[in-house]
Amino acid sequence: MKSSKKSLIFISFISITCLFLTIIPINRNNSVLEQNICYVTASIRTPIHRPTAPKNGGTNKSLILIHGHAASSSVFDRWNDSNIYANYYNKVVAINYYWDGSGSEPKNYIGNHNPIDLETDISNISYYLFQYLNSSNFTDVDFLCHSMGGIVVRDLICNYYPNLNASGINIDDVITMGTPNKGSLAIAFRKGSHPYQGLLDYLIYLRILLIMEDPTISLLMSYVYHHILDLNHQLIQIRKNSPYFETLKVAGDETPYDANITWTTIAGRFLFDYLAYFQHMQAEFTVFEYDDWERGKNILILNLLQQLFLWMDVGTDGLVAPRSAKLNGAQNYVWDYESHGSLLTPSSSRKNFVIDLLTDKI
């Protein structure tokens, strides 16, 4: 009796799943939810041809590296290499925007001698960046940003782009890596300070809370930010469904001034590596001595679930989901097998891919 009941449940599951997968089209390369996200594989096959001169023929082309929340310019140590850009940029500057006011200011600090901490409004940081650019003899500028650094630059452009142009400062490329352009629920749980932080960390490592990147569920969770979590002001600003993101548009446009600025986003996708997990499990099922029915049943279930997860396109870099990193009107890329932190330490092929983006080779 128990066996027939299990068989009935199994057959029902297979039937419903097959019907679901038949009705809903599956695209292994571009998910239904994010059709215009391009998936960049670990190996960039296109040869990298670095230019021998600045693309705009300028003599003061600069690359500015913008770090993320609670970080510093040191996160870009592997990018801040003059040899990489020697034939392209005249100057590569990794800025700092955190300083508590004690001791000497960090190198390339933008705060105009004023302390900036985690409670400083992001709009104030973008204003300091505007002042820094105006006072530092920049003309042609590209931005490479990580995490919240991309939000700072978006705020800068939305509020001060005409002023920068009037000052003779042109922005050509903006590349954001792991930037929560639509906010992130996981960031709040991961970086909040509260009595249950250890438990929440454990749940994240088990990949449970990240499922809550779903906008419907995150709406139900929005009250948590104010009633349970002890978040700093910047985390509240970049939380899921934050009204602050509405200020990062010009006439409703998430990528304003795109006639002059090339916008690019890069997202990581690491923790929900279902494909590799299922392939591993499938190999395990072929090693152990299951009978043919048991082995065939398990492999079939794994393959069906694999298709389901590909359709769902669930996955994040540990803090930010690709659907959150995406900007309408931008070139949107996803790097599989990259976490939020490893976006800053990519393989040489992916690093060259970014250089190609900056140099208009892509």
DSSP string, 143-187: EEEETHHHHHHHHHHHHHHHHHHHTT-EEEEEEEES--TT--HHH
Sign of CA dihedral 157, 160, 165, 167: negative
pLDDT grade for 276, boundaries at 50, 70 and 90: very low
pLDDT of residue 205: 47
**Domain 39-183+242-271+315-358 adopts which CATH fold?**
Rossmann fold (3.40.50)
Q: Which two tokens stand for residue 115?
A: 């302390």
Q: Residues 61, 54: contact at Cβ < 8 Å?
A: yes
Indicate the range of 40-44, 208-212, 350-354 predicted with least confidence: 40-44
Q: In terms of pLDDT, which residue wins out, 347 or 123?
A: 123
Most confident option among 13-27, 54-68, 214-228 = 54-68
pLDDT grade for 102, boundaries at 50, 70 and 90: very high
pLDDT of residue 339: 81
Global confidence as pTM: 0.74
Distance from C-alpha of 164 to C-alpha of 127, rounded to nearest angstrom: 11
Mean model confidence pLDDT for the chain? 74
CA distances from 37 to 137, 267, 271, 335 (A): 36, 10, 18, 11
Residue 253: strand pairing partners: 250
Distance from C-alpha of 41 to C-alpha of 250, rounded to nearest angstrom: 33
* DSSP strand pairing (61-66 vs 91-94): parallel
Using alpha carbons, select from 50, 79, 81 the residue that is nearest to residue 345.
Answer: 79
pLDDT in tens, 238-256: 987 789 999 999 999 999 9
